[in-house]
Structure 1
Amino acid sequence: MHDVAREAGVSRGTISRLLNGDGYVSVEARERIEAAIRKVGYAPNATARNLARQRTNAVGFIVHEPHALFLEDPNIGAIMLGANEALSEADYQMVCLVVGSERDATRVGRYLRGGFVDGCVVVSARANDPITDVMKTAQLPVAFVGHPPDLHDLSWVGIDNVASAREITARLLATGRRHVGMIASALDRDSGADRLAGFSAALGDRFDAGLVVPVDNYSYSEGVRGMTELLSRAPHVDGVFAASDAVAAGALEALLRAGRRVPQDVGVVGFDDSAWATRCTPPLSTVRQPAEGLGRAAARSVLDQISGAQSEPAAILLDTPIVWRESA
């Protein structure tokens, strides 16, 4: 900056005002400074600037899932892209942090407490999640995608999983299915538990707990395992609600192996309207989850908290239309 000031014939304070946008700089001075910057090859030191401002211009994107599922689940990728789009527009970097084990949770918690990011978007948090505790103690700006029950005064963005699951189950029942089961994933998370609640509500007195097979996560392999188990319990099952499209795709594979036709013998519906839905044969009837919209909304909430534009916790719900295709 000394070199630029000498070349342009202005003070360092004038240069600082121009670079930081903190005050008036005349057109003539601006042109001289810009010409001097080009001539001397000056580049602002972002690290020094961020230290002075006590900002990193980075936001963490935390996914609490096994590493393999992080790569397999297209919803996580879409949420990440939506968040990155909003952060990029604000000239922020996204730091991706995957929590797949207790060791990961400890490492990421230490990183967050070290002040390396200005805030966080958190995906797939559970109740009593150690990362949630870190957010509370570190007082970092944060927005969760989903709504674990112990968030209390933290911001979140999500969908009405109960109503969406109830609606698509009712649509499946309206096709005349009499023995409808569910492959219920991730019951330790609000999304999984709420989808089971919506399924149960749609069936009412017809709900049979024996036709619900719980599986660990939203994956293709768990769909194969869950559908195989459901067929062994109830060979007469003629309708299935799978808690995600990936799970539904696995269910279709298990039904094919068992010689069951879809939708003639068994109607299958999923949840997400992800890439899985259109690549399946037949294509899946499903609930459209606005994954990129969730990521954008969560990132904007974090940015608003950082800037001071949002001073109170926000709760944002996005719409989830039904998309009806050939699988049911």
Structure 2
Amino acid sequence: MNKGKLNEGARPTMADVARELGVAKITVSRALSNHSTVKESTRALIRETAERMGYRLNVAARNLRQQRTRTIAVVIEMAPSHDRLMSEPYPLSLLGGIMQELTAAGQNMVLTTIDLFAEHPPSIDGVILLGQGVHDDAAAAIEAMGLPYVVWGAAHGPPGRIVVGSDNRDGGRIAADYLLGRGRRELIFLGETQHGEVEDRLIGFEAGLRGSEAVIVDRIACAFTAAAGREAVNRLLDRAKCFDGIFAASDAIAMGAIEALAARGLTVPGDVSVVGFDDSPGASIFSPKLTSVRQDWAVGGELLAKKVLDLVARRRVVSHAMPVELVVRDS
């Protein structure tokens, strides 16, 4: 174990507990929220160590009971990179809807990332989490804080968790219907199904193909970026894989896929039809204009804000799956 000393008077953090035991911070988070992915013996050791060190998981929750702050934290799960910027429509469109609703309700908003939030939780009344993370990691970390929270994503967690998101399974189904209607029979799915939303899109896609002659000839896990889409399609073409349709889990992936096809002399939609997901602003100006499953991030942001405020006020709240629609363009 990596025993470290705290500065005198310093309040221990989740990272201090993790360092003391030589485990990952997310393991501490999961253990303190009784997550089933951590075995009981490890959970017990982590809880005992946290208590010995004086770590208090529910400091923010205790503050909530004493006095309202009129402040909501918006926690972004995604890690920014040169391929996936914070300035892209996701998460900005969601943030716009959240800010509009919180401002109208006279609430402040603190914007942070999952790592910063876990290290230094601000004084807040509730949390909106944008993105559950791979294997639900981010949502588990937020749940461990003991505050009212809502999640943008898929309803894959505990029964009581409040989730706002698009009807991803229906989105996959209508993408399948569209490709079948264009006579496509050898199909590719591009997306990382360790994310609950993407898993649901694939499940819906598979359901939409049942009873048809079409088959999914390959499923490739890739990040939500154009670079990942290009790389995935290049790998398929290098292996001489035959396909005539692609359903991509995001518009960025779809655009990268189209770029890779064009670089190899294949036409869209002549040789391959491509459907994205999101209907991001770039979909209508890309060449060819991208057919995409539309989800309304701005409305989603408003719903997230309303539901977290209802939770803070101890009103009854239920999860909400927003309808999606296919926007047919040229791809």
TM-score (norm 1): 0.75
Does 1:181 find its partner at 2:181?
Answer: no
Q: For the residues of structure 1 that align with 2:237 and 2:87, how far apart are their CA atoms?
A: 25
Q: Name the residue aligned to 1:317.
A: 321
Percent of aligned positions that are identical: 30
Structure 2 counterpart of 1:213, from 210, 215, 220: 220
| CA RMSD across the alignment | 2.3
Amino acid at match of 1:83: I
Superimposed CA distance per residue, residues 70-113 of structure 1 (whole angstroms, 9 cap, x where no aligned partner): 426412211111111111111212211123xxxx2xx422433x
Contact 1:245 1:273 in 2 (8 A): yes
Q: Name the residue aligned to 2:278.
A: 272
Q: Name the residue aligned to 1:294.
A: 300
Superimposed CA distance per residue, residues 11-36 of structure 1 (whole angstroms, 9 cap, x where no aligned partner): xxxxxxxxxxxxxxxxxxxxxxxxxx
Query: Which runs of structure 2 are paired with 1:1-328 in the superposition (5 Å)?
Result: 54-68=67-81, 69-71=84-86, 73-99=88-114, 104=115, 107-112=116-121, 116-126=123-133, 129-183=136-190, 185-204=191-210, 206=213, 208=215, 210-215=217-222, 217-308=223-314, 310-311=315-316, 313-327=317-331
Q: For the residues of structure 1 that align with 2:326 and 2:65, how far apart are their CA atoms?
A: 50
Structure 1: which 5+ residue stretches go unaligned? 1-49
Contact 2:177 2:209 in 1 (8 A): yes
Greater alpha carbon shift after TM alignment, 116-125 vs 204-213: 204-213
Structure 2: which 5+ residue stretches go unaligned? 1-62
Q: How many residue pairs align between the two structures?
A: 266
In our comparison, the structure showing a higher alpha carbon Rg is: 1
Give the SS at the match of 1:226.
helix
Q: CA 1:138/1:175 → structure 2, altered by over 3 Å: closer, same or farther?
A: same
Give the SS at the match of 1:223.
helix
Contact 1:168 1:269 in 2 (8 A): yes
Q: CA deviation at 1:207?
A: 6.0
Greater fraction of residues in helix:
1
Give the SS at the match of 2:164.
strand
Q: CA deviation at 1:288?
A: 0.7
Q: CA 1:96/1:186 → structure 2, altered by over 3 Å: closer, same or farther?
A: farther
Amino acid at match of 1:318: M
Q: CA 1:246/1:93 → structure 2, altered by over 3 Å: closer, same or farther?
A: same
Amino acid at match of 1:257: A
Contact 1:142 1:155 in 2 (8 A): yes
Contact 1:97 1:108 in 2 (8 A): yes
Contact 2:73 2:128 in 1 (8 A): yes
Give the SS at the match of 1:87.
helix
Amino acid at match of 2:329: R
